[in-house]
């Protein structure tokens, strides 16, 4: 049984009694009063989710009551009752923030539908607020664990500096590096955080459908357009529109997007007048837009309009200092999500993770951790539990040369370092990850040992 509390306000006692009986039968908790003054007193004494009020009452009228309630009790939804001849007053009440109206004489089914709709709207708003708060908290946490490398710290410092502005931002980086996560964080740290963050994948929709999604359309403008539709530029009004995979947008749509950014207005398909917009645009791509400009696939003027503030997220292979920190975070989260005991990575598994290129970046790392957590019973994850694509990159077992037992520790170190360098094709960064030393240390040791890398 629903326990939503509804306040009924009307100077006609019979109507109050009728609504009380009807709504009580539907499982609502009700209270009725016969004046606006009593209504305000009741709202001070108790918490109601919904108020149903007449517009014509002595002393304080319904419109004044709506205005007062919206100012003092912003979480309260209001339904107004009015005679058919006074619909102008109902429209005015809607402008002042009322959720809906019903006309007298009241119809039972109409009352039920309008009340249910209003309460569902309250629940939806409450859920939106909860999700936004959760997103903001998780967004800050997610960004915090994106890594501790110097590259990541520099990138996040730039993100925090530009978030409060209203500038257009272009985020670049390989697939799976967390571009949408950064965009969400920028939105939540901006002055638009209380409004919507709307996402559209420009590569996922054909041209005609993408144009309709972005700019909207008018009824009858094309086959299947049976009603007017607001575009995402309008839906995101006051908030942020995230255009993912912007590099895959067609040249024809690029022209329309450029106009929208320059003029702050869009022209829906089939419309004759443009619609003004108020939205911050954040775009992202894994494509090389400078190369696309040279080939004629991306407009230079749109590129410069989008990249007012460019933010680049380096691939995971170029920030190895982040790999183990991210691994530990995803490991804890996967264990908690699957209600499993905490697990850890063995030192050998950590070496495998550092040696792997991670072509899918952070997304691949997260999915890999999720998989091995579910499929591994042991508390410590060893290389045997890893996918073959990871373990296949491990260097072959290092065989000590004959007589190695009589060699100095320095000689053994030199032989092993050369072995790792040969196995990695003399890629000093990868070798440094396996050896657990800085690349500059490899350079110094090669110089000391008199070893010249092959050309």
* pLDDT surpasses 50 at 235: yes
The model's confidence at residue 3, banded by pLDDT at 50, 70 and 90, is low
Both 329 and 305 in a single domain?
no
Of 270, 297, 314, the residue at which a domain comes to its end is: 314
In this structure, are strands 309-313 and 197-201 parallel, antiparallel, or unpaired?
A: unpaired
Residue 398 inside a domain? The answer is no
From CA 424, how far away is CA 420, in angstroms rounded? 6
Residue 39 Cα to chain centre, angstroms: 41
The parent domain of residue 351 ranges over 318-391
Both 205 and 272 in a single domain?
yes
Question: What CATH number is given to the structural domain containing 328?
Answer: 1.10.8.60
Strand partners, 328: none
Both 308 and 284 in a single domain?
yes
What pLDDT is stored for residue 153 in this prediction?
86
* pLDDT surpasses 60 at 191: yes
What pLDDT is stored for residue 45 in this prediction?
78
Count of structural domains, the chain: 4
List, as one string, the DSSP characters of 276-339.
Answer: E---EEEEEESS-HHHHHHHTSS-HHHHHHHTTEEEEE--GGG-GGGHHHHHHHHHHHHHHHTT
What pLDDT is stored for residue 2 in this prediction?
47
The model's confidence at residue 156, banded by pLDDT at 50, 70 and 90, is confident
Question: What CATH number is given to the structural domain containing 200?
Answer: 3.40.50.300
CB count in 10 Å sphere of residue 117: 13
Q: DSSP E strands: which ranges in 84-196?
A: 100-104, 169-173
Condensed to tens digits (0 to 9), the pLDDT of residues 171-185 reads 999 999 989 989 988
Higher pLDDT, 250 or 392: 250
From CA 60, how far away is CA 400, in angstroms rounded? 96
Residue 10 inside a domain? The answer is yes
What pLDDT is stored for residue 293 in this prediction?
93
* pLDDT surpasses 60 at 85: no
**Exposure string for 276-310, b = 16+ CB within 10 A, e = fewer:** ebebbbbbbbbeebeebbeeebbbeebbebbbebe
From the list 318, 433, 422, the residue with the least C-alpha distance to 446 is 422
Of 296, 314, 332, the residue at which a domain comes to its end is: 314
Higher pLDDT, 131 or 153: 153
Determine the 3-state secondary structure of 70 from DSSP.
helix
What pLDDT is stored for residue 395 in this prediction?
44
Of 314, 343, 367, the residue at which a domain comes to its end is: 314
Question: For residues 172 and 285, is the Cβ–Cβ distance under 8 A?
Answer: yes
Both 92 and 77 in a single domain?
yes
Question: What CATH number is given to the structural domain containing 417?
Answer: 1.10.10.60
Condensed to tens digits (0 to 9), the pLDDT of residues 20-49 reads 999 998 889 999 999 998 998 888 878 888
Both 301 and 225 in a single domain?
yes
Residue 207 inside a domain? The answer is yes
**Exposure string for 134-160, b = 16+ CB within 10 A, e = fewer:** ebbeebeebbebbbebeebeebbeebe
Both 301 and 161 in a single domain?
yes
Condensed to tens digits (0 to 9), the pLDDT of residues 408-454 reads 667 777 888 888 888 877 888 777 777 777 777 888 788 888 888 77
What pLDDT is stored for residue 396 in this prediction?
46
Strand partners, 158: none
Residue 440 inside a domain? The answer is yes
Across 107-124, average pLDDT: 85
Residue 140 inside a domain? The answer is no
Across 121-130, average pLDDT: 69
Both 57 and 187 in a single domain?
no
CB count in 10 Å sphere of residue 394: 16
Inter-CA distances, 290 with 108, 260, 293, 299, Å: 64, 22, 5, 10
Across 262-268, average pLDDT: 92
Question: What CATH number is given to the structural domain containing 70?
Answer: 3.40.50.2300
DSSP category for residue 408: -
Both 41 and 167 in a single domain?
no
From CA 417, how far away is CA 249, in angstroms rounded? 48
* pLDDT surpasses 80 at 140: no
Number of residues written out for the chain:
455
From CA 89, how far away is CA 97, in angstroms rounded? 13
Mean pLDDT of the chain: 85
Element (H, E) at 8: strand 5-9
Question: For residues 261 and 301, is the Cβ–Cβ distance under 8 A?
Answer: no
What pLDDT is stored for residue 10 in this prediction?
92
* pLDDT surpasses 90 at 189: no
Both 68 and 211 in a single domain?
no
* pLDDT surpasses 70 at 158: yes
* pLDDT surpasses 80 at 136: no
| Range with the poorest average pLDDT among 23-32, 61-70, 209-218, 359-368 | 61-70
Both 201 and 109 in a single domain?
no
What pLDDT is stored for residue 400 in this prediction?
54
Residue 136 inside a domain? The answer is no
105: preceding bond cis by omega (within 30 degrees): yes
The model's confidence at residue 126, banded by pLDDT at 50, 70 and 90, is low
Condensed to tens digits (0 to 9), the pLDDT of residues 276-335 reads 888 999 999 999 998 999 999 999 999 999 999 999 999 998 888 889 989 998 999 899
In this structure, are strands 100-104 and 197-201 parallel, antiparallel, or unpaired?
A: unpaired
* pLDDT surpasses 90 at 199: yes
What pLDDT is stored for residue 394 in this prediction?
47
Q: DSSP E strands: which ranges in 174-307?
A: 197-201, 216-217, 229-230, 240-244, 265-266, 275-276, 280-285
Higher pLDDT, 368 or 89: 368
């Amino acid at each position: 049984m629903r326990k939503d509390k509804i306040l009924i306000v009307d100077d006609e006692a019979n109507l109050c009694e009728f609504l009380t009986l009807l709504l009580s039968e539907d499982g609502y908790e009700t209270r009725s009063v016969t004046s606006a003054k009593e209504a305000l007193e009741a709202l001070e004494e108790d918490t109601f989710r919904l108020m149903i009020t007449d517009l014509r009452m002595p002393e304080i009228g319904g419109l004044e009551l709506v205005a007062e309630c919206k100012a003092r009790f912003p979480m309260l939804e209001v339904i107004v009752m009015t005679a058919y001849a006074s619909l102008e007053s109902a429209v005015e009440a809607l402008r002042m923030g009322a959720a809906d109206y019903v006309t007298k004489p009241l119809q039972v089914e109409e009352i039920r539908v309008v009340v249910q709709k209003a309460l569902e709207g309250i629940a939806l708003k409450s859920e939106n607020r909860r999700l936004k708060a959760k997103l903001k908290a998780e967004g800050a946490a997610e960004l915090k664990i994106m890594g501790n490398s110097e590259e990541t710290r520099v990138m996040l410092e730039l993100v925090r500096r530009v978030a409060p502005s209203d500038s257009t931002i272009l985020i670049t980086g390989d697939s799976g590096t967390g571009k949408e996560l950064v965009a969400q964080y920028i939105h939540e740290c901006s002055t638009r955080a209380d409004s919507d963050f709307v996402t559209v994948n420009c590569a996922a929709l054909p041209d005609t459908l993408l144009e309709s999604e972005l700019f909207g359309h008018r009824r009858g403008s094309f086959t299947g357009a049976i009603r007017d539709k607001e575009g995402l530029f309008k839906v995101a009004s006051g908030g942020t529109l995230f255009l993912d995979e912007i590099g895959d947008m067609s040249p024809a749509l690029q022209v329309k997007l450029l106009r929208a950014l320059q003029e702050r207005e869009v022209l829906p398909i089939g419309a004759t007048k443009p619609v003004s917009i108020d939205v911050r645009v954040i775009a992202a791509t894994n494509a090389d837009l400078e190369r696309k400009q040279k080939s004629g696939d991306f407009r230079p003027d749109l590129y410069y309009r989008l990249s007012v503030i460019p933010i680049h997220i380096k691939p995971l292979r170029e920030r190895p200092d982040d790999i183990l920190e991210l691994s530990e975070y995803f490991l804890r989260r996967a264990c908690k999500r699957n209600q499993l005991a905490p697990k850890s990575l063995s030192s050998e598994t950590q070496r495998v993770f550092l040696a792997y290129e991670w072509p899918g970046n952070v997304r691949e790392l997260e999915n890999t951790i999720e998989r091995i957590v579910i499929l591994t019973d042991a508390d410590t994850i060893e290389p045997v539990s890893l996918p073959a694509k990871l373990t296949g990159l491990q260097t072959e077992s290092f065989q000590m040369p004959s007589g190695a037992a009589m060699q100095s520790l320095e000689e053994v170190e030199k032989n092993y370092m050369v072995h790792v360098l040969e196995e990695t094709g003399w890629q000093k960064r990868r070798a440094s990850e396996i050896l657990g030393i800085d690349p500059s240390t490899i350079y110094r040791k090669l110089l000391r040992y008199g070893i010249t890398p092959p050309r």
